[in-house]
Amino acid sequence: MSIVSEQLSTGKQAGRTPAAPRRRNWLRLWGRFGQYVALVGYIVFLGFPLLWLLSTAFKSPQELAKLTPTLFPVDWTTENFRIAFEQTQLPQALLNSLIVAASTAVVTTVIAMPAAYALARLRSVVRTVSVGWILVSQIFPFILIVIPVFVLLNNLGLLNTLTGLVVVYVVWALPFTLWMLMGYVSAIPKELEEAAAMDGASKLNILARVVFPLLLPGIVATGMFAFISAWNEFFFALVIITDPAKETAPLLLARYVGAEGSVNLGPLAATALLTTLPSLLIFSIAQRKLVAGIMSGSVKG
Amino acid sequence: MQTSVASPAGAPAAPQPPPGRKRRSSGGIGGRSTWFLLLPSLLPVVLFSVYPLLNGIWLGFTDAKAGFDVQYRFNGLENYRQLFQDNLFWQSFKIGLIWAFSVTILQFLLALGLALLLNAGLRLQWLVRPLALVPWAMPSVIVAILWKLIYAPDGGILNAALQGLNITDRNINWLGDFSMALPAVIVVGVWAGMPQTTIALLAGLQNVSADLHEAAALDGAGAWTRFRTVTWPAIRPVVVAITSLDFVWNFNSFGLVYVLTEGGPGGRTMLPMLFAYNAAFQSGNFGYASALGNAMVVVVLAIMGVYLWRQMRQSQ
């Protein structure tokens, strides 16, 4: 309130000299110009690394060996992709990543759905505790969790298996999945369920026929989120998987960077490009929903 | 079975109980089926997240080592005595703090600029919006590779560009140079973390009252004055929240720098998490590594405590 009154009073004092509007127009024009310059700066900073990855992936080894690189390949070649597929375990790693990410997405959403419903609909201490846990767990570095998880998986015989990785990823994705789903559940009007209950529908029926269809877009978005986070994850995989045949794509890439990748930039770029495609693809499809979901979770949570 | 599943139907359908009765609703029959719904999520979280975390904190006070069936025992503050005498630990935490503060502050300033631009209704939005989000969808390993390609000492585009502009005439080994490595990884950290910050700030900006802005503009308030008096107070809670989260994430970050430099050269980019990872999985000192983790928590809590306390006092 004080801001408003303050500005109202300064407005009176300012008066309107005839020269002021023209000067202001000039200022505004320059301001717009400056804004566009800044925007182009952001586009270059954010976009250039991606462009460079694309360009490197399609350059021939000879061209990459040149000391003065060109922005775009002189002759485009898919040679790097062939090398990536033939000389590395990329196909296996991509398959492993796909299995792990898809399983994580399915399991996470299936077990999170009832919990998200309960947490969103029945306000109770449990809800406060859960939301509190989501926030508190952010503070602890992974190193505290990963050592006991390592020992635990070892005792369960799940160390160095994709199943073990899925278990960890599900738990890892759950808090945020719950967060998102809770936002979607809250968006479904309670009155719809109440009306169905009045008509004599059983609770199970209401959940299956009323809530679930309305929740489906949210479930898909949440599943995609879980998929991306599992597909992208690196640290737990690094600790849990040691067998090269069970490596996920990020692991393979990290190993490749350390080994021959620093010399063979072309295949490295090609592998990186292939690995990032699935998450980019999903992301471009679900971008709006994902962002809205994360935001709604944080606003309504 | 039928009744226990059906019972929660009564709870939401019945007239809303007064807010004061919250606690009782979680204890009755409705409470039991709530647990039934929660159990599939709760069980894995407790088993693979809560228990390991508590166990991890506890391990920080033991002499646990890697290996099968190794017995370990409580050794009090012995790990922390060692930590205090470990120069590498102090160096690593210093680097971690430089990294976390630089990345968080730069991330915030750049993201705020971008969010303001995106909110200003400029053209080119179709290009900028996806670009601003893409780093978020990429694995940290790939982000590291992207920048390795740019920083490559021979044939990297950065060196070529700098030489083309006559800024330097030698090939700088960005990630291998003692003084350049940390700034170079900080730039990557900023790039990778900008999306979340931008999205959060953009959401905050949408809460800024357009009427207030218009009124201030009519009164001749300049852009800076309007930002300071109208925009800033409105987005301040979002700013505090996202910078706190960014700081925690950055201080605990691992994958990006692990792939970029593995902590090198000569430990110049050895973030605390990398140090702890090496202690645990290269040297096998589970107890010592957990103690490091505990020390990280203490540092983060102390810094966050001061920050949040000051913010609260200022806003009062």
Give chain A positions within 8 Å (CB) of B55. Answer: 148
B39-46: long-range pairs with CB below 8 Å, 24+: B40/A110, B40/A111, B40/A114, B40/A115, B41/A111, B41/A112, B41/A114, B41/A115, B41/A174, B41/A178, B42/A115, B44/A111, B44/A167, B44/A170, B44/A171, B44/A174, B45/A133, B45/A171, B45/A174, B45/A175
How does residue B69 score in pLDDT terms, banded at 50, 70 and 90? low
Determine the pLDDT at residue A293.
60
A72-92 b/e with 16+ CB inside 10 Å = b? ebeeebeebbebbbeebbbeb
Q: Are residues B43 and B88 in the same domain?
A: no
Residues 6+ apart with CB under 8 A from A21: none
Put simply, the chain B residues between 266 and 295 with a CB less than 8 A from any chain A CB are: 272-273, 276-277, 280-281, 286, 289-290, 292-294
- For chain B, count helices (H), then strands (E): 16, 0
Could you identify the residue written with the tokens 């090198």? Answer: B264
User: Which pair of tokens denotes residue A297?
Assistant: 């979770």
Q: Are residues B47 and B118 in the same domain?
A: no
How does residue B199 score in pLDDT terms, banded at 50, 70 and 90? confident
Q: Are residues B269 and B132 in the same domain?
A: yes
Q: Are residues B188 and B306 in the same domain?
A: yes
Q: Do B286 and A42 touch (CB under 8 A)?
A: no
Average pLDDT over residues B291-310: 91
Determine the pLDDT at residue B68.
63
The CB density around residue A237, as the number of other CB atoms within 10 Å, is: 26
Average pLDDT over residues B283-307: 92
Q: Are residues B109 and B223 in the same domain?
A: yes
Q: How far apart are CA B235 and CA A292, in angstroms?
A: 18
Average pLDDT over residues B30-59: 85
User: Is residue B246 within 8 Å of residue B101, measured between CB atoms?
Assistant: no
How does residue A297 score in pLDDT terms, banded at 50, 70 and 90? very low
Q: How far apart are CA A205 and CA A92, in angstroms?
A: 43
Q: Nearest CA to B259 among A40, A278, A254, A206?
A: A254
Q: Is B215 on the interface with A (CB under 8 A)?
A: yes
B280-306 b/e with 16+ CB inside 10 Å = b? bbeeebbbbbbbbbbbbbebbeebbee
Determine the pLDDT at residue A263.
67
Torsion region of B66: left, alpha or beta (phi above 0 gives left; psi -120 to 50 gives alpha) = beta
B157 part of a folded domain:
yes
Whether residue A133 has pLDDT greater than 80: no
User: Is residue B95 within 8 Å of residue B271, measured between CB atoms?
Assistant: yes
User: Which pair of tokens denotes residue B47?
Assistant: 């088993």
Average pLDDT over residues B187-213: 88
Give chain B positions within 8 Å (CB) of A20. Answer: 220
The top-level CATH class assigned to A87-300 is mainly alpha
Torsion region of B306: left, alpha or beta (phi above 0 gives left; psi -120 to 50 gives alpha) = alpha
CB-closest option in B59, B114, B304 to A42: B114
Q: Do B9 and A287 touch (CB under 8 A)?
A: no
Determine the pLDDT at residue B7.
33
What DSSP element (H or E) covers A84? helix A79-87
Give chain A positions within 8 Å (CB) of B221. Answer: 7, 10
Q: Is A221 on the interface with B (CB under 8 A)?
A: no
B126 part of a folded domain:
yes
Determine the pLDDT at residue B298.
93
The CB density around residue A23, as the number of other CB atoms within 10 Å, is: 10
Determine the pLDDT at residue B74.
86
Q: Are residues B101 and B48 in the same domain?
A: no
Q: Do B294 and A144 touch (CB under 8 A)?
A: yes
- Asked if the bond preceding A91 is cis, omega within 30° of 0, the reply is no
Which amino acid is residue B99, in one-letter code? W
Nearest residue of A to residue B126, measured between CA atoms: A43
Which amino acid is residue B162, in one-letter code? L
Whether residue B62 has pLDDT greater than 60: yes
Average pLDDT over residues A271-292: 80
Lowest mean pLDDT among A93-97, A218-222, A235-239: A218-222
B17 part of a folded domain:
yes
Q: How far apart are CA B24 and CA A260, in angstroms?
A: 63
Q: Tens of pLDDT along A89-125?
A: 889 999 999 999 999 999 999 999 988 888 887 766 7
User: Is residue B262 within 8 Å of residue B274, measured between CB atoms?
Assistant: yes
CB-closest option in A38, A42, A142 to B254: A142
Determine the pLDDT at residue B163.
83
Q: Are residues B17 and B126 in the same domain?
A: no
Q: Helix, strand, coil % (nearest 5) of chain B?
A: 75, 0, 25
Average pLDDT over residues A214-225: 88
Determine the pLDDT at residue A124.
63
Determine the pLDDT at residue B30.
55
Q: Are residues B11 and B131 in the same domain?
A: no
Determine the pLDDT at residue B31.
64
Q: Do A143 and B140 touch (CB under 8 A)?
A: no
Could you identify the residue written with the tokens 């069936």? Answer: B69
Higher pLDDT, B45 or A126: B45
CB-closest option in A20, A126, A154 to B34: A126
Determine the pLDDT at residue B115.
92
Compute the nearest-CA separation of B85 from chain A (Å): 21
How does residue A26 score in pLDDT terms, banded at 50, 70 and 90? confident
| Terminal CA-CA length for chain A | 29
Phi and psi (nearest 5°) for B176?
A: -110, 0
Determine the pLDDT at residue B17.
42
Q: Tens of pLDDT along B107-146?
A: 999 999 999 998 888 888 888 888 888 888 888 999 999 9
Put simply, the chain B residues between 162 and 181 with a CB less than 8 A from any chain A CB are: none
Q: How far apart are CA B94 and CA B101, in angstroms?
A: 11
How does residue A170 score in pLDDT terms, banded at 50, 70 and 90? very high
Give chain A positions within 8 Å (CB) of B2. Answer: 202
Determine the pLDDT at residue A98.
95
Average pLDDT over residues B45-59: 90
Q: Are residues B143 and B263 in the same domain?
A: yes
Higher pLDDT, A225 or B110: B110
Which amino acid is residue B235, in one-letter code? I
Q: Do B44 and A171 touch (CB under 8 A)?
A: yes
- Residue of A25, A37, A46, A133 to mutate, interface with B, max B Cβ within 10 Å: A46
Residues 6+ apart with CB under 8 A from B108: B197, B239, B242, B243, B246
Phi and psi (nearest 5°) for B16?
A: -60, 130
What does the DSSP 8-state code read for residue B21? Answer: G
Q: How far apart are CA A245 and CA A96, in angstroms?
A: 9
B90 part of a folded domain:
yes
Angle at B247 between CA B246 and CA B248, to 5 degrees: 95
Q: How far apart are CA B269 and CA B181, in angstroms?
A: 7
B73 part of a folded domain:
no
Q: How far apart are CA B50 and CA A226, in angstroms?
A: 20
Q: What percent of chain A has pLDDT over 70?
A: 83
Q: What are the beta bridge partners of residue B74?
A: B62
Residues 6+ apart with CB under 8 A from B300: A139, B247, B248, B251, B252
Q: Is B201 on the interface with A (CB under 8 A)?
A: no
Q: Tens of pLDDT along B224-272?
A: 888 888 889 889 888 998 999 899 999 999 999 999 998 878 889 999 9
CB-closest option in B5, B38, B49 to A145: B49
What DSSP element (H or E) covers B134? helix B125-137
Q: Which domain holds residue B52?
A: 2-59
> Structural domain tally of chain B?
2
- For chain A, count helices (H), then strands (E): 14, 0
Higher pLDDT, A288 or B95: B95
Whether residue B90 has pLDDT greater than 80: yes
B145 part of a folded domain:
yes
Give chain B positions within 8 Å (CB) of A122. Answer: 8, 11-12, 25-26, 30, 34
Q: Is A69 on the interface with B (CB under 8 A)?
A: yes
Domain ranges of chain A: 18-79, 87-300
Q: Do B124 and A43 touch (CB under 8 A)?
A: yes
Q: What is the mean pLDDT of chain B?
A: 83
Q: Is B120 on the interface with A (CB under 8 A)?
A: yes
Q: Do B6 and A204 touch (CB under 8 A)?
A: yes
Determine the pLDDT at residue A299.
41
Q: Do B142 and A250 touch (CB under 8 A)?
A: yes
Q: How far apart are CA A124 and CA B199, in angstroms?
A: 30
Higher pLDDT, A135 or A169: A169
Lowest mean pLDDT among A63-72, A149-158, B59-68: A63-72
Q: Are residues B160 and B246 in the same domain?
A: yes
CATH value at residue B227:
1.10.3720.10
How does residue A162 score in pLDDT terms, banded at 50, 70 and 90? very high
Average pLDDT over residues A227-246: 92
What DSSP element (H or E) covers A250? helix A249-258
Q: Do B150 and A233 touch (CB under 8 A)?
A: no
Lowest mean pLDDT among A14-28, A212-226, B199-213: A14-28
